C-alpha cells in the first residue's frame, strides 16, 4: 500500500485504523507504541505532516487516500490536539460508507493559551543559551498576544513563529550552528504551530459517531456528558499502557460494549 498522507505503523489485518497526532519526537508515548501493543488484527496508520488547511479539504484528501485502498475503515483514533481532527475525518469516511468508531485520547482544544504554552516549552529547551532579557521579552510577548488577540489564533501563531526564529538565530550565532540546522529548527516549530492551527478548526463532535474519550489521570473530556473511560496512568504513558492496549483491542474486536 503506497500512501502519501499516511505512514504505516503495523499491518496485522485488513481493517484500517488511522491515527491522528503530530509526528514529532517527544517524551510522551505515541501511536507507534499503541500499534505495537494492540494484539487485534488491524492496520494502524499515522498521519504524516498535516499540511495547510482548510480542515475540511484536508480531511477529504486524507479519507480519499484510504478509501481508494478498498479496505474497510474500522476506527479513527486521535491524541491530544489531534483529537480535534478525528471527527472531520470520521465524517468524511461516513459520507462514503459505514461510519467508523472514534476514540479520542486525552482530548484538548487548541487555544491561544496552548499556542503560547508550546512557545514557552520550545524556548525552555534553549533557555541556557538565551539572556534573561530575551526570555522575559519572549514570555511577555506570548502573554500579551493571548490577552490582546484571544480568538485570532493565526495572528498569535505568526507572531510566535517570528519571535522563535529571531531567538533561534541568536542562539545559532552564539553557538556557531550551521544555517541549515537553524532553519530546520524554525521549520519544525512552525510546522507544529500550523498543525495546531489546523486542529483549532475542528471540534470534538462527529456526524458519523459519538466519540469515546479515553482519559489519563487528571484529564477530562472537553464536552459535558461524553462517554469516557479514565485510566489510572499519567498522560505521557497513556498510549504505551497495557491496559489501554487491551481496551483498544476489545473495542476493535467488539468485545467491549461500544
190-203: pLDDT as tens digits: 999 999 999 999 98
Q: What is the mean pLDDT of residues 41-53?
A: 89
On the question of pLDDT at 59 being above 90, the answer is yes
pLDDT confidence of residue 206: 74
Beta carbons of 82 and 28 less than 8 angstroms apart? no
Residue 258 has pLDDT above 70, yes or no: no
41: pLDDT strictly greater than 80: yes
Residue-level pLDDT at 256: 58
How many structural domains comprise the chain? 2
Q: Are residues 175 and 238 in the same domain?
A: no
The answer on pLDDT for 255 being more than 70 is no
**Residue 121 confidence (pLDDT):** 92
For residue 154, give its domain range. Answer: 112-199
Residues 208 and 182: their CA atoms lie apart, in Å, by 43
Are 63 and 95 contained in the same domain?
A: yes
* Among 169, 199, 229, residue at a domain's last position: 199
Query: Is residue 133 scored above 80 in pLDDT?
Result: yes
pTM over 0.85: yes
Neighbouring C-beta atoms of residue 133, cutoff 10 Å = 8
What pLDDT is stored for residue 6 in this prediction? Answer: 97
**Span 71-93, pLDDT tens digits:** 999 999 999 999 999 999 999 99
Q: 84 is written with which cell numbers? A: 480535534
64 and 38 in a single domain? The answer is yes
What's the pLDDT tens digit per position in 180-228? Answer: 888 999 999 999 999 999 999 998 877 777 899 999 999 999 998 899 9
Asked if 46 and 77 touch (Cβ cutoff 8 Å), the reply is no
pLDDT at 257 over 60: no
The CA–CA distances, whole Å, from 242 to 61, 233, 247 equal: 33, 10, 9
| 120 is a domain residue | yes
**Per-residue pLDDT averaged across 53-81, rounded?**
94
Helix pair angle (153-175, 112-124), 10° resolution: 10
Does one domain contain both 43 and 171?
A: no
Single residue among 199, 214, 233 that ends a domain in this structure: 199
Scan for cell 487491551, then name that residue. Answer: 246
Assess whether 10 and 103 both reside in one domain.
yes
Same domain, residue pair 134 and 75 = no
pLDDT at 53 over 90: no
* 140 within domain boundaries: yes
Residue 154's pLDDT is 96
The answer to whether the bond into 75 is cis (omega within 30° of 0) is no
For residues 9-42, one letter each, b for 16 or more C-beta atoms within 10 angstroms of the residue's C-beta and e for the rest, the string is: bbeebebbbbbbbbbeeeebbbbbbbbebbebeb
Q: How many Cα atoms are found within 13 Å in the side-chain-facing hemisphere of 142?
A: 22
Position 21 confidence tier, pLDDT thresholds 50, 70, 90: very high
In a domain, 1, yes or no: no
| Domain match, 64 and 43 both | yes
Question: Do residues 193 and 219 both lie within one domain?
Answer: no
- Same domain? 83 vs 122: no
The answer on 124 and 49 residing in a single domain is no
Average pLDDT over residues 17-23: 95
Q: For residue 40, is it within any domain?
A: yes
- Say what the pLDDT of residue 181 is: 87
Do residue 96 and residue 146 come from a single domain? no
As a whole number, the mean pLDDT across the chain is 92
Please report the pLDDT score of residue 70 as a whole number.
Answer: 95
Residues 14 and 103 in one domain: yes
pLDDT tens-digit readout, 93-128: 999 888 999 999 999 999 999 999 999 999 998 899
Q: Kindly state the percentage of the chain with pLDDT values over 90.
A: 79
CATH number reported for the structural domain that contains residue 56 in this entry: 3.40.50.1820
Does some domain include residue 258? no
Amino acid at each position: 500500500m503506497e500512501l502519501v498522507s499516511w505512514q504505516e505503523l503495523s499491518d496485522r489485518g485488513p481493517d484500517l485504523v488511522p491515527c491522528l497526532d503530530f509526528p514529532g519526537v517527544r517524551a510522551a508515548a505515541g501511536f507507534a507504541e499503541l500499534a505495537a501493543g494492540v494484539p487485534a488484527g488491524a492496520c494502524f496508520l499515522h498521519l504524516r505532516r498535516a499540511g495547510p488547511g482548510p480542515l475540511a479539504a484536508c480531511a477529504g484528501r486524507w479519507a480519499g487516500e484510504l478509501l481508494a485502498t478498498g479496505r474497510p475503515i474500522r476506527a479513527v483514533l486521535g491524541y491530544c490536539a489531534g483529537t480535534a481532527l478525528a471527527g472531520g475525518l470520521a465524517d468524511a469516511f461516513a459520507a462514503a460508507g459505514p461510519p467508523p468508531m472514534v476514540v479520542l485520547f486525552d482530548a484538548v482544544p487548541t487555544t491561544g493559551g496552548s499556542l503560547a504554552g508550546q512557545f514557552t516549552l520550545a524556548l525552555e529547551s534553549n533557555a541556557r543559551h538565551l539572556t534573561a532579557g530575551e526570555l522575559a521579552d519572549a514570555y511577555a510577548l506570548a502573554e500579551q498576544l493571548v490577552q490582546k488577540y484571544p480568538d485570532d489564533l493565526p495572528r498569535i501563531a505568526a507572531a510566535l513563529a517570528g519571535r522563535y526564529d529571531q531567538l533561534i538565530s541568536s542562539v545559532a550565532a552564539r553557538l556557531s550552528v550551521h544555517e541549515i540546522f537553524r532553519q530546520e529548527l524554525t521549520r519544525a516549530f512552525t510546522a507544529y504551530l500550523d498543525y495546531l492551527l489546523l486542529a483549532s478548526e475542528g471540534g470534538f463532535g462527529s456526524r458519523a459517531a459519538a466519540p469515546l474519550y479515553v482519559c489519563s489521570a487528571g484529564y477530562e473530556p472537553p464536552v459535558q456528558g461524553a462517554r469516557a473511560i479514565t485510566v489510572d496512568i499519567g498522560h505521557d504513558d497513556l498510549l504505551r499502557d497495557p491496559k489501554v492496549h487491551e481496551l483498544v483491542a476489545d473495542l476493535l474486536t467488539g468485545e467491549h460494549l461500544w
